[in-house]
C-alpha cells in the first residue's frame, strides 16, 4: 500500500532529518486491511534510525506525538485501530518542543 508519511516537530531527526517519506507498506500476513497499529510497527522497523523510544511507547506513539490521518486527528478515527487506504497521508508531529 502506497502511503505518504510526514514527520515534524523534531521527529524527522529520528529518520535522518527527512521529513517526507513516500512508502510502500505490505499488509501483514493474512490480513486484508492495514491498521495504524501495523503501520507504526512498520515505521519503527524501517524508518526510525535512532532512539525509537522518542517515537513510540509500547505499540502506540509516545505521549506528546500528534497523529493526523488525512488531516484528521486519529483520536476520531479509532487511534491504533484506524484503517488506512491507498494514498493516505499520515502526519506525525512531536509537540514536546515549544515554539
Partner 1 sequence: MACNSSTCNSSGCYKGYEEEEQPKPNTKAAVNGGNSCQNLCVKCKVNEPVCCGIGGENSRFCKDCFKNNLYGKFKQAVTYNAMITPPDKVLVAFSGGPSSRVVLQFVHEMQYKAQKNYDANKDKSLPVFGVGVAFIDESSTHSFTSLHIEKAIEDIRLIVSNLAPPSKELFVVPIESIFSSDGIDGKERLKELLDAVSDVTGKEDLLIRLRILLLQKIASENGYTRIVLGTCTSRIACHVISATVKGQGYSLSADIQYVDSRWEIPVVLPLRDCPAQELNTLCSLDGLKIVELLNGPCSGINGLVSSFVKVLQAECYV
Q: Which residues bind partner 1 (CB under 8 A)?
A: 8-10, 13, 54, 62-64, 66, 68, 71-73, 75-76, 91, 93, 95-99
Cβ proximity to partner 1, 64 vs 87, nearer residue: 64
- What does the alpha-carbon distance between residue 43 and residue 5 come to, in Å, rounded to a whole number? 9
> How many Cα atoms sit within 13 Å of 15 on the Cβ side?
20
Cβ proximity to partner 1, 21 vs 28, nearer residue: 21
- What does the alpha-carbon distance between residue 80 and residue 66 come to, in Å, rounded to a whole number? 13
Cβ proximity to partner 1, 46 vs 64, nearer residue: 64
Q: Cβ 45 to partner 1, closest distance in Å?
A: 22
Nearest to 97 by CA among 12, 26, 36: 12
Q: Cβ 35 to partner 1, closest distance in Å?
A: 19
Amino acid at each position: 500500500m502506497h502511503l505518504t508519511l510526514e514527520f515534524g516537530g523534531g521527529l524527522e531527526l529520528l529518520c535522518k532529518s527527512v521529513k517526507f517519506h513516500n512508502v510502500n507498506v505490505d499488509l501483514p500476513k493474512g490480513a486484508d486491511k492495514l491498521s495504524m497499529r501495523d503501520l507504526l510497527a512498520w515505521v519503527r522497523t524501517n524508518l526510525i534510525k535512532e532512539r525509537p523510544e522518542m517515537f513510540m511507547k509500547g505499540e502506540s506513539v509516545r505521549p506528546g506525538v500528534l497523529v493526523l490521518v488525512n488531516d484528521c486527528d486519529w483520536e476520531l478515527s479509532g487511534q491504533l485501530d484506524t484503517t488506512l487506504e491507498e494514498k493516505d497521508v499520515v502526519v506525525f508531529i512531536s509537540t514536546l518542543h515549544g515554539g
